[in-house]
Every structure is written in structure tokens, then in C-alpha cells.
Structure 1
Amino acid sequence: MTVLARPARVQSPARRAARLFFRSPGGVIGLLLTVLVVAASLLAPHLAPYDPVGYMPVDRMQGPSLRHLLGTDLYGRDLLSRVIYGSRISLSVSAISVALALAVGGSLGALAGYYLGWVDTVIMRVTDIFLAFPAVLLAIALLAFLGGGFWNLTLAIAVAYAAPFTRVVRAAVLRTRDAMYVEASTALGATDRRLLWRHVLPNAAGPVLVEITLRLAYAILAEAALSFLGLGTQPPAPAWGQMIADGRPFLETNPWMSISPGLAIMLTVLGFNLLGDALRDALDPRLNR
């Protein structure tokens, strides 16, 4: 009697990547930290115990207590409330700036990687010029010209991070533009626009997704650094970098004024970095094999 062997069960690439991601302790921790920060920013009006910009001179410069879990600042404002609302500013600036950088830099990178020739030469030489400047220094130069504020800060970070997206998208497109399915679609008469949007870019999404998570972490650090220098969102808005700068003269008497926003920045950036590393390991076929 012949026993037929059961065919091996083949997992889809998405399911295999998800399984590998959730097997990574760093990826799970990064996902939890990211979800917590995003949830805190969305639910800030319900989680914050006090008005983040409300002055309470009677409670000024208090340490952590049951009434104020992280203490208060120079003007009596509750630090926990300001840290929770500060997540809104940091995540908003980072998300919008990375989205703009991806839209501009990703489009240019796709054009350079697909058409090559003089298009690739012009785009990449301009990209090299922007990459020659440190991102924060380039953002400071732009803010010195534009002035501070939420939208100018967002635009400056987007300009500083557009060039890295151009590089990443170009490299991803170069790996997929000569694939057999792209050549088959070309032989069937598919237009360049259809090839880019339906075949090339979706199959190049893995490296771009990893770059997005890492750039979100860099954008949060850039926003905090620029706010610390007074070039970001202006007071009394609860920006994390501005809160660290306000607490710097009182590190000996009330260190929580700087420690609490510093810990918020550290945990948020750590979450995005762990998430990006786990996504890279799960989506890279050379690693997950």
C-alpha cells in the first residue's frame, strides 16, 4: 500500500515575516513602546490630570508626589501632563516631516532608479549635495532663514531627511526593475507609470518601511534638539526639547524637570529603533532564510 506524503505547507511572505517579527523580543518591545506612545498622544485629554499650560504658582517646583506624579515646573505646571501632551508635538512633527520627505525623496529616488541615464545623474548629484550637510545643521540653517514654529520646524526636518529616502528608494528600485515579472509586464505593453506603481514600488516596500521607522526616531531626536535650542515649537507649548532646556538651570534642585521629558524621548526613540531593527530582520530574505 502506497502512502502519499502530504505536501509541505507553504507560508505566504507576509505571514512568514509576521512570524519572524513576533519571534523577536526586541520587535515586540519596540511595538509595545510605540503603541503606548501613540496611544498616550491620542488619548492625552483623557490621560493628562491637569492642563499642560495652566499656571499654578502655589505648586511651583514640587517633586514627585501623589498629587503630581512627576512633580511641577517653575510655573507650577504638572510635568506628567506636559510630557503626555508633548508626545503629540513630537509625533506630529516626526510623522508629517517623514511623510513629506518620503513623498519628495521617494519620488525622486524612484525616477532615478527606474530611468537611470541623465535623470539618475542629476537627481543623485543634487542628493549628494544635501547629504554633505549634517541633517540637524541643515535644519538649523533653514530655521534661521524661515524662523521657528511648528510648520517651519516640520518643513526643515523634511528637507533634511528627503535625501536619505532618495538613496534608499533608488537602491530598492534598482533591485526590482530588471525582475522577470517587470520584463513580462513591459512585453505586454504596460506603461512606465503602471510598472512603477503596480510592480516595482510595491516589491521595493520592505527597505522603505524599515527606513520610515528609523527616520521617525531620527526626526523625534531632531525635533527635540531644535526645540532645546529654541528653534522649534514656541512656549508655552509642551515640547520635550523645550522642557529639557527649561529644567537645565534646576538640575540640582528639581532634576525631574529635565529627566521626565528626557526619559520620554529615550523610550520613544528606543521603541522606533527596536521596531525598525525587527522589521529589517523579518523583511530581509537574506536574514530570515
Structure 2
Amino acid sequence: MSAAAVKLPRSPGRRAALLFFRTPSGVVGLLLVLLVVGCALLAAFISPYDPVRYLPADRMQGPSLSHLLGTDLYGRDLLSRIIYGSRISLSVSVLSVSLALALGGLLGALAGYYLGWVDTLIMRLTDILLAFPAILLAIALLAFLGGGFWNLTLAIAVAFTAPFARVVRAAVLRSRDTMFVEASLSLGATDRRLLWRHVLPNSLGPVLVEVTLRLAYAILGEAALSFLGLGTQPPAPAWGQMIADGRPFLETNAWISVAPGLAIMLTVLGFNLLGDALRDALDPRLGR
């Protein structure tokens, strides 16, 4: 048999990529996420108007050629505010999820690797956090800290720390007793080396899926808290605050709230579809 006829096995990364791009919903989710990220990065170049500039003469206009999504109570262009609002939503979600992953990942890795009293202590702390609904915990923290971008980011990060600790702990438990970990341990590898070089890298699959889903939850949380007036303060173009601004005019000028609501829906849908597709692609039990 010639070398050309030998079919080499696919690497795990290539197999996962092929499975992902064979999933139509995953591709749609990826495109939606890339669209929102592109709007956030290129907002200064693609936004037709200044998002915070007051134009009283143009107030409460419907969709038109000059204002594709209309204007709000103060004459500000809704499309421009939605484009710039993507920066706030993505910044809060990425920063909060990163903080939650760093803290929750560290706690989960320690609990799953050492077990014993360390595991018991950390898991009871996460049980306390999980006893509160995430949105109520974030509201309580913001009531104590006050509103604003950074306090909002910190509140969402604290609310998401416990779920990340649970996911990382479960992933570490699956990896710590594998043969390659035991072989490294028998060769004298330290706990730190085992965690960072062997256990955690082989636990990235479920953690990556959890990250994409938590990004969607963080965007929803940011919008809900901004709607309540606890997030980024006006005149910053936060999507939740935009919905709140248009609430008194739902019967006459519904597009003021509908437009940012659609932006939130499509962004969250994109991350959810992306996370579902990644979960299926990274599942080693799927042999397609």
C-alpha cells in the first residue's frame, strides 16, 4: 500500500473545526457574533452620527433615509447609539466573564485537584453564591457599590464566579486521574506543573463552551441592570437604558425600544448558537 493511500487520523482540533463548520446554526451564530464585534470595533467609522449629540429638531422621527432606525426623545440617531452600545455590552460581558473565569477557574481547579477539606470549603462557598439568583445578587452588590461601568462589571463577575468554579472543578476531576497525569506524577512533576501543563489544558473544552454561554448571560444581565438604572449611566448608549428611555412611547413610537431589543436578541442568539455548536464539536463521544 502506497503512502498516499494511507488515511491519517484527524487531529482533535481539526476534527472539532470540521464538526463546527458542518453545523449551520453554529456558522450563523459565529456570523452574528462577528457582526456585533465588528460593529464594536468599527463604531467610529461606520456610525452615521454622534451617538450622544442632541438634535431637538429631529426628535421622535421614524425610520427614514437620513435616520435608518429613527431618532429618540432627544433627536439622537438610534442606529448610531445601537452601534456604539455594542461596545458597552461587549466590554462589560468580556471583562466580567474574564474576571469570573479567572477567580472561579482558580477555585474550581484547586477544589477538583486537591479534594478533601479544600474541595469542601470551596464548594460550600459556591453553594452560598448559587443560593441567590444571579440578577438579584448583582442588584444587591450594585445597591451597595453604586452604578457605573466598573461596578456593573464587578457585580456580574461575582455572580458568575460560582458557576465557573463548578464547571472547572468537574472538568479537572475528569482529567486528574488519567494515565498521563499519573505518569507525570510518577516522574516527579509538581502539583503546579500538573495543573498548568496537563490537567487544565485538557479541561478547556467544557470551559470554552461555558464562556460563550456566560457571555450571552452577561449581555442580558448588563441590559437588565441598565434598564433598571444600575448600569452605565446616561448619556452613554447602553442598550438596556435605551429600552427604558423608549418605554413611555411604546404605543406611539415603539421602534425606540424595539430596535435595541432586537440588537440584544440577535447578540444573545449568536452567542447561544455558537456555544451549542462548540459543545457538539468538542464532545469526543461524537464520532462523525
TM-score when normalising by structure 1: 0.98
Q: CA deviation at 1:17?
A: 0.3
Moved more, 250-259 or 205-214: 250-259
How far apart, CA to CA, are the structure 2 residues paired with 1:91 and 1:185?
40
Q: Output aligned runs, 1:14-53, within 5 Å.
A: 14-53=13-52
How far apart, CA to CA, are the structure 2 residues paired with 1:32 and 1:9?
31
How far apart, CA to CA, are the structure 2 residues paired with 1:4 and 1:254?
71
Deviations 1:126-160 (A, max 9, x none): 00110011000000000000000000000000000
How far apart, CA to CA, are the structure 2 residues paired with 1:256 and 1:49?
18
Write the letter of the residue equivalent to 1:258: S
The answer (yes or no) to whether the contact 1:281–1:288 under 8 Å persists in 2 is no
Determine what percentage of the aligned residue pairs are the same residue. 82
Q: CA deviation at 1:192?
A: 0.5
What does residue 164 of structure 1 align with? 163
Let me know the Cα RMSD of the aligned residues: 1.0
What does residue 272 of structure 1 align with? 271
How far apart, CA to CA, are the structure 2 residues paired with 1:148 and 1:175?
40
Q: CA deviation at 1:253?
A: 1.3
How far apart, CA to CA, are the structure 2 residues paired with 1:188 and 1:84?
54
How far apart, CA to CA, are the structure 2 residues paired with 1:32 and 1:97?
23
The answer (yes or no) to whether the contact 1:282–1:288 under 8 Å persists in 2 is no
Q: CA deviation at 1:288?
A: 4.2
Q: Output aligned runs, 1:125-164, within 5 Å.
A: 125-164=124-163
Write the letter of the residue equivalent to 2:252: T
How far apart, CA to CA, are the structure 2 residues paired with 1:57 and 1:7?
72
Moved over 4 A (4+): none
Describe the SS at the equivalent of 1:190.
coil
The answer (yes or no) to whether the contact 1:50–1:78 under 8 Å persists in 2 is yes
How far apart, CA to CA, are the structure 2 residues paired with 1:50 and 1:189?
62
Say yes or no: does 1:118 pair with 2:117.
yes
The answer (yes or no) to whether the contact 1:20–1:288 under 8 Å persists in 2 is no
What does residue 286 of structure 1 align with? 285
Q: Output aligned runs, 1:64-83, within 5 Å.
A: 64-83=63-82
Write the letter of the residue equivalent to 2:156: I
What does residue 98 of structure 1 align with? 97
Describe the SS at the equivalent of 1:204.
helix
How far apart, CA to CA, are the structure 2 residues paired with 1:258 and 1:288?
45
Write the letter of the residue equivalent to 1:172: A
How far apart, CA to CA, are the structure 2 residues paired with 1:176 and 1:156?
31
Structure 2: tracts of 5 or more residues without a match = none
How far apart, CA to CA, are the structure 1 residues paired with 2:287 and 2:264?
31
The answer (yes or no) to whether the contact 1:221–1:265 under 8 Å persists in 2 is yes
What does residue 259 of structure 2 align with? 260
